[in-house]
Amino acid sequence: MARATRPIPELYEAARAGERRALGRLLTKVERGGAEADQISELAHPDAGNAHIVGITGAPGAGKSTLVSRLVTDLVAAGRRPAVLAVDPSSPLTGGAILGDRIRIDEGNDPGEGRRSFIRSMATRGHSGGLALAVPLAVRLFDAVGYDPVIIETVGVGQVEVDVVGAADTAVVVMTPGMGDAVQANKAGLLEVADLFVVNKADRPGADDVRRDLSLMLDLSHMTGQESDTGYRPPIVMASALNGDGHGDVWTAVDAHLAHLDDTDTRSARRRHRIRTEVRARLLQAMSDAADHEMSSPSGTEWLSKAERAEIAPTHATDQLLEQLLQPTEETS
């Protein structure tokens, strides 16, 4: 690449000093993973830990982007520096993606003020494992260079997306009338992770039905472990992002949830959970990489082809590969 490259520490300092271009470049490296991403993680670690991390998810068409746009506008007006990480699925076939969320989110930016907000689109790039690694790192980077809150927006469809949002300090689940959302969300496991529900497009017929369904589901105590532990019951906020009703209430409820975490001393528990999730994801990724590596090693290929020729059982080949994997030799290092 002929493209001008600066060393990572230099980029990091520039990003800390407010250079958006440098932060943009660092986020690309974070997304790419590998040694450079690890280096950024190490650099950001001491400076991070201040931002309120908010996950927002919901079915496609629930109006998340419009809601986020409203929230960003309000946060900028209130003097905050919000960052948004908008995660969109990639095509599993080509790895390509169309990231269109900026259209609405960018409304919140104020060009006159040197843009206090920062919005970054991230594609899942076909492998959800990469997302589980890249998102926590990107969030740490935003946090370290001074953005607060950091909002992660995902389409609540896959397990990883749900996990990512569930690992936030405050997880917001957005629903709309007439889409059978409550049932879908229940299936996807979103109800368990939600700290706050937003019924968007609340001016539509059926909004009250959604509220009632949610209420009913929350009444079943097994839906939320929190309620038994700390007495916290996720509130349901009615909003219409399009005409601007209720988004103030949404952020009030998000703040209230943060206060609740602080009051009950559970924010650190969230953080511990988040770190555990991240470490586990990285371990799984490392093991997966090691497994791929092992399978393509000379002896791995040999065991594999024996299994393929049905000379040995697949279980036998696996045992052999696992043995090599677990005892470090020159071959796997």
Partner 1 sequence: MTAPTSSDSGRPDNPEYAAWRERYDEANLRDKPFETMSGVPVEPIYGDGPYPGEYPYTRGVYPTMYRSRLWTMRMFAGFGTAEDTNARFKDILRNGGTGLSTAFDMPTLMGRDSDSPWALGEVGHCGVAVDTLADMRDLFADIDLSAVSTSMTINGPAAVILAMYIAVAEENGVTPDQLAGTIQADIFKEYQAQKEYIYPPRPSVRIITDMIRYTTAEMPRWHPLSISGYHIREAGSTAAQELAFTLANGFAYVEAATAAGVDVDEFAGRLSFFFNSHSDFFEEIGKFRAARRIWARWMKERYGAKAERSMLCRFHTQTAGVSLTAQQPEINIARVAIQALAGALGGTQSLHTDSYDEALALPTEKAARIALRTQQIVAHETGAADVIDPLGGAPYVEWMTDEMERQAEAIFAHLDDIGNGSILEGVYAGIDNGYFVGEIADAAYRFEREVNAGHRIIVGVNDFTDGDDGEQHILRIGPEAEEYQRKRLADVKQARDDAAVAASLAAVTTAAEDPEANLMPPIIEAVKTYATLEEVVMAMEKVFGTYVEKAVL
Partner 2 sequence: MSQDGQIRIILAKLGLDGHDRGIKVVARILRDAGMEVIYLGLRQTTDSIIAAAEQEDADAIGLSMHNASHMTLAPAMVKAVAEAELDTPVIVGGIIPDEDLQPLRDAGVAVVLGPGASAEEVAQAVRDAVASV
Tokens (6 digits) for 167 = 């690992």
Which of 108-116, 177-185, 221-229, 258-266 is the region at the interface with partner 2 (rule: CB under 8 A)?
108-116
Beta carbon nearer to partner 1, 46 or 205: 205
Instruction: Please state the φ and ψ torsions of residue 114, each to the nearest 5 degrees.
Output: 70, 20
Out of 32, 187, 272, 316, name the contact with partner 2 by CB under 8 A.
Answer: 32
Among 31, 213, 278, 294, binds partner 2 (CB under 8 A): 31
Asked if 24 interacts with partner 2 (CB under 8 A), we say: yes
215/243 with CB nearer partner 1 = 243
Would you say 171 or 241 has its CB closer to partner 2? Answer: 241
Least distance from C-beta 178 to partner 1, angstroms?
9
Q: How far is the CB of 100 from partner 1 (least distance, A)?
A: 3
Q: What residues contact 124, with CB distance under 8 A and at least 6 apart?
A: 87, 88, 89, 90, 97, 130, 131, 160
Nearer of residues 101 and 169 to partner 1, judged by Cβ: 101
161 three-state secondary structure: helix
Rounded Cα distance, 282 and 230, in Å = 31
> 94 is in the binding site of which of partner 1, partner 2, none (Cβ under 5 to 8 A by kind)?
partner 2
Residue of 37, 59, 119, 241 that binds partner 2 (CB under 8 A) = 119
Q: In sequence order, which residues have a C-beta less than 8 Å from that of residue 225 and are 6 or more positions away? A: 192
> What is the spatial distance between Cα 208 and Cα 218, in angstroms, rounded to a whole number?
15
Q: What single-letter amino acid sits at 168?
A: A
The least CB distance from residue 163 to partner 2, in Å, is 22
Chosen residue from 76, 123, 152, 175 binding partner 2 by CB under 8 A: 123
Name which of 75 and 202 has its Cβ closer to partner 2.
75
The listed partner (partner 1, partner 2, none) that binds 220, CB under 5 to 8 Å by sort, is none
Helix (H, G, I), strand (E, B) or coil at 13: helix
Residue ranges in contact with partner 1 by CB under 8 A: 61, 65-66, 98, 100-101, 103-104, 107, 205, 242-244
CA-angle at 43, arms to 40 and 46, nearest 5°: 135
79 dihedral zone (left: phi>0; alpha: psi -120 to 50; beta): left
Q: Nearest approach, Cβ of 121 to partner 2 (angstroms)?
A: 6
- Give the three-class secondary structure for 147: coil
d(CA 140, CA 42): 10
Polymer length of the chain: 333
Binding-site partner at residue 309 among partner 2, partner 1, none, CB < 5 to 8 Å by type? none
Q: Which does 242 bind (CB under 5 to 8 A by kind): partner 2, partner 1, none?
A: partner 1
**Nearest-approach distance from CB 229 to partner 2, in angstroms:** 39
Q: Coil, strand or helix: which one is 231?
A: coil
Q: Could you give the CA distance from residue 49 to residue 51 in angstroms, rounded to a whole number?
A: 6
The rounded distance, in Å, linking the Cα atoms of 198 and 174 is: 5
For residue 240, the partner it binds in partner 2, partner 1, none, with Cβ less than 5 to 8 A by kind, is none
Contacts for 227 with CB less than 8 Å, ≥ 6 apart: 218, 221, 233
Q: Which of these, 170, 145, 116, lies nearest to 46 by C-alpha position?
A: 145
With CB cut-offs between 5 and 8 Å by kind, which of partner 2, partner 1, none does residue 119 bind?
partner 2
Backbone angles phi, psi at 102, to 5 degrees: -60, -30
Taking CB under 8 A as the binding criterion, the range among 23-31, 41-49, 224-232, 264-272 that sits at the site for partner 2 is 23-31
Task: Pick one of partner 1, partner 2, none as the site partner of residue 197 (Cβ within 5 to 8 A by kind).
Answer: none
Closer by beta carbon to partner 2, 17 or else 269: 17
Phi and psi torsions of 255, nearest 5°: -60, -40
Where does this chain bind partner 2 (CB under 8 A)? 1-4, 20-21, 23-25, 27-28, 31-32, 90-91, 94-100, 102-103, 106, 109, 111, 115, 118-121, 123, 125
